[in-house]
Amino acid sequence: TATVNLYWHVISQDTTLEGGNIPDSMIADQIAVLNQDYAPSGLQFVLKETIRTTNWYWFNEVGPNTDAQTQMKQQVCSCLVELEGGVADFNVYTVGFTDSEYIGLLGYSTFPADYAGNPMDDGSVILFSSLPGGSTANFNEGKTLTHEAGHWVGLYHTFQGGCTGVGDMVDDTPPEASPASGCPTGRDTCTSPGLDPINNYMDYSDDSCMTQFTPGQSARMADQLRTYRGIDI
Ligand code: ARG
Ligand code: ZN
Ligand code: CA
């Protein structure tokens, strides 16, 4: 097993809960979910530091590939890269994604192989109301961070590549034509053997539907973490 240090960046637009200023207890509950979900894979996360920043622009506008994102990560995270954080440390940013362009976005992440080219970009940006007890219906049991951390350890979506080709590069997740939503029974979008892996953390199902990583995914994350982050599970 291995332990990963977690740096939690609370980005809020003001000092209220609705404005993203989540209490420490919500962060603790989220980390408990994360650790429960990763325990079978031999990975544990330990909170090293919580950094709180009020910034209206970042909270609302920090979509993928935006100036807001580059600015936020450089300003909030440069200290970590230089002084304490690094390739083996997990940076999580909770934000609002309130701009109409980003409504419905739950989060996004970097992959282990991305670190070398852009160390400052490393980590996951997630919707603050997706934490356990948050206000986002069907997505408020903390599975968004489990999913985004899945990318951070090198996993692709179960529907990657559709029904053909190497898909998610994992053998024991049956291929899937498209993302699942809700929690469908008997979904089977590819002719190859196996029902769609709708209960997998790397699909798009509701939080209540997400219950597992497969042994193949655990093996891939161990390999990716060893190769790119120097972490030995
Ligand atoms: N759509 C997001 C992504 O591609 C996250 C999906 C999270 N799903 C959930 N049930 N919380 O990274
Ligand atoms: Zn994803
Ligand atoms: Ca697969």
Q: What is the pLDDT of residues 130-167, one digit of tens each?
A: 999 999 999 999 999 999 999 999 999 999 999 999 99
Q: Check if 134 has its Cβ closer than 6 Å to any atom of ligand 1.
A: no
For the CA of 130, the nearest atom of ligand 1: 11
Ligand nearest to the CA of 207: 1
**Could you give the residue numbers annotated as active site?**
148
Q: What is the pLDDT of residues 34-87, one digit of tens each?
A: 999 999 999 999 999 999 999 999 999 999 999 999 999 988 864 455 545 799
Residue with CA at minimum distance from ligand 1 atom 1: 106
Contact 58, 21 (CB under 8 A): no
Cα-Cα-Cα-Cα dihedral of 175, 177, 183, 184, to 10°?
A: -100
123 lines ligand 1 (CB under 6 A): no
CA of 157 to the centre of ligand 2 (A): 6
The whole-model pTM stands at 0.96
Q: Which ligand approaches the C-alpha of residue 190 most closely?
A: 3
